[in-house]
Amino acid sequence: MPTHTADDGRTGDGRTGDGRNTHPAEALHFDESRRRIAEAAAYLAGGVSSNFRLGISPTPLVIERGDGAHLIDADGNRLIDYYLGMGPMILGHTPADVIAAVQRQLPNGILYGGQIALEAEAARLVCEMVPCAERMRFASSGSEAVQAALRIARAATGRRVVVKFAGHYHGWFDNILWSTTPPPDAAGPVAGSRGQLPDAGAEIDVLPWNDLPALRERLARGDVAMVIMEAAMCNQGSIFPLPGYLEGAREACTKAGSVLVFDEVITGFRVGPGGAQAHFGVTPDLATFAKAIANGFPVAAIAGRAELMDQLAQGVMHGGTYNGQAVSMAATVATLRRLRDPATFAGLEARGTRLMEGMRRHFAEAGIPAVVAGFPTIFHVALGMDQPARDWAGLAGFDRRRYVAFTTALLRHGVRALERGAWFLSTEHDEEVVDATLAAVGRALREI
């Protein structure tokens, strides 16, 4: 987009040369991102490399660089970012300690096909921080870590059936992408994609979450290898477990001889050093991690009881060329060292709480029903609702169309928030950033 530099260093569209918005109340434009996405579509399917980046209003953004809590896009807009890479960037986009650790490793090599001290140190930190982690293995994505959990649980129990819950997401592979956003009246597993093998769901049973009698009844049949859930339902709605639900699920799985798995790809190292399992005080048999574990580097993990994890050295196959890759391990160690410091989360939680309370106040003053629920470091905003949901069906009142109008208006005022309702915070979202966000929320609500 053409710009003209004025004598004071501002460009003709109200931004400085480094992308800072000098008139944040003025609506931003995204023409260059739109043009580049259309151009890239000649080579990238849909112009993107993940379906979760498709169809964003007013356009998927093309990013030039990150800076703390901000992104600068192809149009020169400086945006407060609550995507945070879909969750991983808990230390912000440019953490000096993580960058320095990566720079120290790079001259020594990238990928060895062998073990390194950094990998063992990262594993030690995971095992010290996570309650269930007696042993662990690294992977490259959360989807892969879930596949390892499936294989371990079936090998350990000799059973085939897996219980999951409506609205919970555990990766994009055929054997687990079921009923992530099912119709309210769905009977049985609902495929999440065209081209998905119908019989891949033959061993999947889908239950409503937070319904302990339903889970106990299903487990009583004695054929369930594994129960997998988000310990707090953060992919959809940031819905907390009801009092006693996780404890009851733990007891029921132990009684039935089924492996209890917490998918902590989102909550792990984000809601606290020990993840959701430490927060709620319930320890699963296995847990999967990704996202915040390495602040944006492609690292995932599976961790759990030693007798389960040791099966990976006793005939249960788990592989991956990039598992434990040297540069990523350097980033993992640097990230986890910061996240185990209680002061890191004290600041995050204080600012996240203030942001949530400020948003509730803005919605109330605007007369717009909305539920702001979840953890201070990962919460969800649902327009059109006046009570928190307790499961996927309870999100039926979420006015998604109006919420997209809200996030589109927010983007024009310099704040980037996910259209599905999730808001991720980083250590770089300081008091000034929170103030600017709340001001933008007020302006956006006046528009919608």
Catalytic residues: 169, 263, 291
Q: Other C-beta atoms within 10 Å of 440: how many? A: 21
CA distance 347 to 92: 14
Amino acid at site 262: F
CA distance 301 to 299: 7
Instruction: Give whole-number Cα distances, 125 to 134, 236, 252, 261, 296, in Å.
Output: 11, 29, 30, 20, 18
Which residues in 273-307 are b (16+ Cβ under 10 Å) and which e?
bbbbbbbbebbbbbbbbbbbbbbbbebbbbbbbee
Q: Are 353 and 144 in contact (CB under 8 A)?
A: no
DSSP state of 62: P
**Which of 389, 387, 112, 343 is closest to 239 using CA atoms?**
389
Alpha helices of 300-380 — where are they, by DSSP H? 306-309, 326-339, 342-366
Read out DSSP for 135-203? EEEEESSHHHHHHHHHHHHHHHHS--EEEEETT----SSTTT-BSSS--TT--S--BSSTT--GGGGTT
**Which of 2, 86, 116 is closest to 298 using CA atoms?**
86
3-state secondary structure labels for all residues of 213-246: HHHHHHHCCCCEEEEEECCCECCCCCECCCCCHH
Length of the chain: 448
> DSSP 3-state assignment of 393?
helix
Two structure tokens written together for 398 = 């979420």
Task: Measure the N-to-C terminal CA separation of the chain; round to a whole number of Å.
Answer: 27
Two structure tokens written together for 80 = 């407060």
Two structure tokens written together for 18 = 């480094």
CA distance 128 to 359: 36
Residue with tokens 């991690």: 289
Q: Give me the phi and psi of 326, to 5 degrees please.
A: -60, -45
